[in-house]
Structure 1
Amino acid sequence: MHDILIALGSNVHSDNIMFVESCLVQDFYEVQSTAIVATDPIGAEFQGKLFYNAVVSCLTNLDKDDVINCLKHIEHIAGNTKQKRKEGIVVIDIDLLKFDNEILHEKDWQRQYIKELTKPFIID
């Protein structure tokens, strides 16, 4: 089993986070989610649009590439598109932050809300 952390974000509605969490329960094991927190946008194209964020911890038998493909598929079925992103609309953004001991999206780990949300799942 692989231990993974996943970051979720949306600037549309916090219900989108809950929808993704319900999808993750179907594809992964021992899914644990943080509370949803609201944050200010990062990037000029998103100004004026509050973001909703959460982190999910879970286990999987999939390899890293298959996990990433699964997460991209969930983004797609949730309604995320490149065109909406160009318009500043993030229906849902799902990023694999950690796969076993491998840290991904290192820039995201510098964000205060990621530091806070991942605290319950990180063992020093």
Structure 2
Amino acid sequence: MRVNHEYGRGGALAYLPAHDVHHAKVFGRCEPKTGIVPFMSLLTQVMTTEPYASAKRVYWIVDNGSSHRGQKAIDRLTSTFPNTVLVHTPVHAFWTNQIEIFLSIVQRKVVSPNDFTET
């Protein structure tokens, strides 16, 4: 049985991260929502800085989210940044995505304790 969990964002911002596994660096940005424009903003943030701007190839390993799925996403990415290569993880295999692993650690160590004061 397949179960989908839908939730309302309630005004929460979307955090879009990118993880450079070679330099142990996380890039991130907060956006009002996810989508093509926020994803391309993250790419631009990363790809216009060194060493990525002048690298021969930069591999972006992504899940199958709608903002970076399919040939249109590949074409959009390579037309803007020709040195990029988009690689998709298998569907429902988020545990193979290094940024998902990083975010799960943040959730367990920072978010899950729920040590927030009442407002």
Does the alignment reach a TM-score above 0.5?
no
**Larger RCO, structure (CA 8 Å, separation 6 or more):** 1
Give the structure with the larger strand fraction.
Answer: 1
Quick check: which has more Rg, 1 or 2?
A: 2
User: Please, what TM-score do these two structures have when normalized by structure 1?
Assistant: 0.35
| TM-score, scaled relative to structure 2 | 0.37
